[in-house]
Amino acid sequence: MSVTWTGGTEHWTRKGDIKLFLWNKKASPKVPHAGTIFFVHGSSMASQPTFDLQVPGRPYSSAMDWFADHGFDTWTMDNEGYGRSDKHRAINFDISNGADDLEAGSEYILKETGARQLLLYGISSGALKAGLFTQRHPERVARVALDAFVWTGEGSPTLEQRKKKLPEFIARNRRPIDRAFVHSIFQRDHPGTADTPTIEAFADAILTLDDSMPTGTYVDMCSKLPLIDPAKITVPSIILRGEHDGIAAMDDLLAFFNKLPNMNKQFSVMAGISHASFQQKNYMMVYQILHAFYTLQEPVYKG
């Protein structure tokens, strides 16, 4: 089933000669403006399926719609190699390359909106891209949310299984995906955390844009961690970890969290959630946690 997206505005920017697709849904004028969010997708789906999903009978399946109605200007972007962005280079589009995309995308958004800084959200390998970008450009980030994040990879059962296919991922730049693959995202950790109509709508949206995905983020997560130095994440941060997530091991994340130097930081465990937070039955809880973090008053006293 082919999916189309409405209600937003498409934008394009360049990273050198590479064209990158951005999607924007503007803040509702009915509420006070709350900031500008830049959503960063993961390894196996482009931006719109992740952040602007529409599911009949499931209110606010689109995180962009929910946050726009709560006063946020919302943006997302297809990393190079995904969705509508360019895919022609003979590379595997790794995490560092994705952070380069965020540099180009953030420059465009800041210029287009006049915002001074962005509220950043990344999920899975998108959290790694968001973290690496924040490490490189803290001046552009007001707050960063890292969901389904992984630091060293120690204690991650999903990555242990994925490492068995590492030679296959290294040998080629793209890996095929299909509906069964999308189903596997929701079956591998704790079946039942997402409902069938949402999973099918998610699969429809992903497969409308792509029939293969880059291998670079898989290679990085299986063989090159850690990629982020927590001591260099100097902005206010939140780490979100689904209760049943097979990638984001608790002890690994807590060790990362303890090393974050900015004391304006939070760690949130999300009950009943596995890996793909916004497609879970408890998705509204994720929105509320993020909203609270993004709107938290700055400390008056810092010592």
Question: What's the confidence (pLDDT) of residue 286?
Answer: 98
In a domain, 303, yes or no: no
Spatial strand order of the sheet with 118-123 comes to 9-15, 18-25, 72-77, 35-40, 118-123, 141-147, 237-242, 265-270
Average pLDDT in the 273-293 region? 97
Residues 271 and 243: beta-carbon distance below 8 Å: yes
In a domain, 259, yes or no: yes
The total of structural domains in the chain comes to 1
For residue 284, pLDDT over 90 is answered with yes
Q: What is the pLDDT of residues 96-138, one digit of tens each?
A: 999 999 999 999 999 999 999 999 999 999 999 999 999 999 9
In a domain, 136, yes or no: yes
pLDDT range class, residue 302, cuts 50, 70, 90:
confident
Q: What is the pLDDT of residues 18-72, one digit of tens each?
A: 999 999 999 999 999 999 999 999 999 999 999 999 999 999 999 999 999 999 9
Closest CA relative to residue 37, chosen from 49, 27, 52, 47 = 27
Rounded distance between C-alpha atoms, residue 10 and residue 25, angstroms: 9
Range of the domain at 281: 9-294
The total number of residues written for the chain in this structure: 303
In a domain, 96, yes or no: yes
In a domain, 133, yes or no: yes
- CB half-sphere exposure, 250, CA atoms < 13 A: 7
Rounded distance between C-alpha atoms, residue 71 and residue 32, angstroms: 6
* Verdict on whether the full-model pTM lies above 0.85: yes
Question: What's the confidence (pLDDT) of residue 222?
Answer: 97
In a domain, 79, yes or no: yes
CATH number (domain holding residue 71): 3.40.50.1820
In a domain, 178, yes or no: yes
Q: What is the pLDDT of residues 140-173, one digit of tens each?
A: 999 999 999 999 999 999 999 999 999 999 999 9
For residue 274, pLDDT over 90 is answered with yes
Closest CA relative to residue 125, chosen from 58, 204, 43, 24 = 43
In a domain, 2, yes or no: no
For residue 1, pLDDT over 80 is answered with no
